[in-house]
Structure 1
Amino acid sequence: MKDILIAGRYRVDRKIGQGGFGLVYSGTDLQSGEEVAIKLEYMGNGRESLKWEQSVYEELSGGVGIPRVRFSGSEGEYYVLVYDILGPSLEDLFNYCGRRFSLKTILLIADQTISRLQYIHSKGWLHRDIKPDHFLSGTGRQGNTLYTIDFGLATDFDPAHGQSLKCRPHQGTTLFASLNNHRGHQQSWGEDLESLGYAFVYFASGSLPWQDVDAHGSKEMVKELKEELSGEKLREAILPPEFATYIDHTRTLGFGNRPDYSYLRRLFRRLFVRKGFKHDNVFDWTEKRFHQLRQSTVNQSVSSTEETPQRHASKPRRSGRNVRKGGHGAAASAKAVTDARPHADHRVVKRSRCAARKKPM
């Protein structure tokens, strides 16, 4: 697929992701020179998954944390979706930080992700596959913004009547699936938020109580362990009580009952203030990158000061100039790290639905 041109403008460069219904490549917009993400689905499979996802992006366009679609359409045997390239997923960043986030970072994540779901729900959609892989950091000036991706399993949901407009069976991720998903019940807003709550516990603990069971494919046992995870058990763990309150709230929402998003955000914001955290948008991964850069710069400076006297034994003053030069380079490099973001590991997931038609206006 490399070097293929999409719509006479977008060049396919290298594969960065693969899933059940397509491939994801990084590419280049030849008109602007900008890097883009290119998602491809073979039209011969008859599923039209990418068309469905494009229809979701179209209705969500303009929202904070929603990727901008630049092109959608067919190219040869493939249906194509071209959108803004993003940074690493929360799962990638979780691994980068040693599979544990600080409470401050979890609370910063919670504030943004609850808002993302509120927006998606307000537009009449359920995501239905909420997990760390599906939240990506932005790039450049939007580096502190979290984006929601992969709407292949999304379904439209009538916010006025609390009814799903069509049957779309769920085949999402067992690890983060809601209890009602396990039970085969119809899902609504609360299920997305419940899955998000499991992600918060995952970030704080490094794993979930049913993770080993899920690895062996026992969905029924995973369901039983989730049923046993009461708010009281969470309170007995290392997590502040706000997390138990959050899980309890999402689980007690009846079908079609609208969540109190402001209340959920307020829970975590008050905890943030009570802990004395500074709202500077400095996440764990931001701090780790800075420390790594600083250590690298120190090592380079030490190396310069050790080598210089040997080269210029008769002119020791140059050693001082080399040290200052290293320090100046540190400031420039710090800016580069602030701007630099790894490429996205866009993941494509399987989906199944009873109808693939676009939501009626």
Structure 2
Amino acid sequence: MSLPKPPSSIANGDYTVEKMLGAGCFGQVWRGWNRNKDLQVAVKFEDNQGKSSSLQLHHEQEVLSLLANTSPQGFAKLLAFTVEGRFSCLVMEMLGFSLEDRLQGCGGKFSAPTCVLIADQCLRRIEYLHSLGILHRDIKPENFMFGVKNRIHVIHLIDFGLSKRYYEGRHAAMRTNLSLTGTARYASINAHRGIEQSRRDDLEAIGHMLMCFLRGTLPWSGLQAKTQEEKYRKIREKKEQTPLEELCADFPDAFRVYLVKARALQFTDRPDYNALRKLFSDLRQEIGPQEDHGFQFLKGSLGSLEPLEIKEDVVQPDDQIEVKSSSGCCTIS
């Protein structure tokens, strides 16, 4: 059943709603406009009618508000959140092409040099999200989008409707027999097995996404099944049965090593994000490109671009922090 058309004006008339850009399980995304500021925006609508819980846009607004406290590069800015009749409405800055858009524009594959650049930025985004005690849980090319204008080379992590806190004072406990959350093509093996997700699962999903970029397809893509349950089972079995040497054959070994390290992590392990990024920065020294904007799909004069933020040693919630005092040095968590 199709959703009713959302309102044409929201937030006391601050934003007009112009054209639908897409739809997902949560609702619809429309292009909007703030005429007072001459600003194009993206507006997400979720129909609240008949729902008593699991309102994804309200949850996403909470995550974006948390991100807004530090305004890190690579996350869309939250501009407004309001309820208009039966709809929750989330307004954020307009972004550009997604990785999926760019992939299709390149014939379904990315070169290894382009994947190296993608890997670095995706790992920085997920490291920062994890530093807030939050998992993404739906890694896929559609959820990474490039900016516009002087941020056309900056990858943004979007869509936090399925995200979840994994750390509040302490690491969440591991549960089992759970339904799969996320996109089956990229999900980790443990997510398929019904195990509670943690940081390792976002990282493994990024590895699967990168291999899809390089290969053009994955061994578990396009499997035929009569039911969703059967399809998920077949995908899980194919992932389990495909050796990483086979999956990553004919491509730089950094991609295989990355997946080996991601899959080796235990549930509560604190990933070494620096070491994972170094796999790709070392490869970049060998094969290029040297420019941060050297993607195969960005050609010609790009003008003056915003420098990429390089934050090393982002503090994770389970890191031990040394605090010096006049009486000496103590350690707190």
TMscore range, shorter length = 0.7 to 0.9
1:205 match = 215
Q: 1:19 aligns with which of 17, 24, 28?
A: 24
Instruction: Tell me the number of residue pairs that the alignment of Structure 1 and Structure 2 aligns.
Output: 292
2:203 match = 193
2:329 match = none
TM-score if structure 1 supplies the norm length?
Answer: 0.76
Q: Give the direction of change, closer, same or farther, for the CA distance of 1:176–1:152 in structure 2 (3 Å limit).
A: same
| SS class of match (1:212) | coil
Distance 1:25 1:41 in 2: 11
Q: Give the direction of change, closer, same or farther, for the CA distance of 1:152–1:214 in structure 2 (3 Å limit).
A: farther
Distance 2:82 2:174 in 1: 25
1:141 aligns with 2:158: no
| SS class of match (1:163) | coil
* Aligned residue type for 2:253: P
Q: 2:134 aligns with which of 125, 137, 155?
A: 125
* Aligned residue type for 2:46: E
1:38 aligns with 2:29: no
CA contact (8 A) 1:162 1:255 kept: no
| SS class of match (1:213) | coil
| SS class of match (1:286) | coil
Q: What is the CA deviation profile of residues 91-142 of structure 1, one whole-angstrom value per residue up to 9, with x for unaligned ones? A: 1110011111111110000000000000000001000000111000000111
| SS class of match (1:57) | helix
Q: Give the direction of change, closer, same or farther, for the CA distance of 1:224–1:166 in structure 2 (3 Å limit).
A: closer
Aligned-residue CA RMSD (Å):
2.3
Q: What is the CA deviation profile of residues 118-174 of structure 1, one whole-angstrom value per residue up to 9, with x for unaligned ones? A: 000000100000011100000011111000111111111117632169998543211
Q: CA deviation at 1:227?
A: 0.9
Q: What is the CA deviation profile of residues 284-311 of structure 1, one whole-angstrom value per residue up to 9, with x for unaligned ones? A: 1113xx4xxxxxxxxxxxxxxxxxxxxx
Q: Give the direction of change, closer, same or farther, for the CA distance of 1:91–1:52 in structure 2 (3 Å limit).
A: same
Q: CA deviation at 1:2?
A: 7.5
Higher relative contact order (CA 8 A, sep 6+): 1
Q: 2:87 aligns with which of 70, 78, 86?
A: 78
Distance 1:188 1:63 in 2: 22
* Aligned residue type for 2:100: E
Query: Which ranges of structure 1 fall in alignment gaps of 5 or more residues?
Result: 291-333, 340-361
Distance 1:138 1:45 in 2: 35
Query: Which ranges of structure 2 fall in alignment gaps of 5 or more residues?
Result: 306-333
Q: Give the direction of change, closer, same or farther, for the CA distance of 1:165–1:233 in structure 2 (3 Å limit).
A: closer
* Aligned residue type for 1:232: E
Q: CA deviation at 1:76?
A: 2.0
CA contact (8 A) 2:135 2:166 kept: yes
1:354 match = none
* Between structures 1 and 2, the one with greater helix share: 1
Q: Give the direction of change, closer, same or farther, for the CA distance of 1:103–1:267 in structure 2 (3 Å limit).
A: same
2:261 match = 249
| SS class of match (1:74) | strand
CA contact (8 A) 1:128 1:170 kept: no
1:315 match = none
Distance 1:166 1:284 in 2: 42
Q: Which has the larger radius of gyration?
A: 1
1:179 match = 189
Q: What is the CA deviation profile of residues 45-95 of structure 1, one whole-angstrom value per residue up to 9, with x for unaligned ones? A: 314221011111111221221110000021122111000000011011100
1:321 match = none
2:55 match = 48
| SS class of match (2:185) | helix
| SS class of match (1:211) | coil
Q: CA deviation at 1:208?
A: 0.5
* Aligned residue type for 1:106: C
Distance 1:280 1:172 in 2: 29
1:5 match = 9
| SS class of match (2:223) | helix
1:111 match = 120
Q: Give the direction of change, closer, same or farther, for the CA distance of 1:244–1:277 in structure 2 (3 Å limit).
A: same
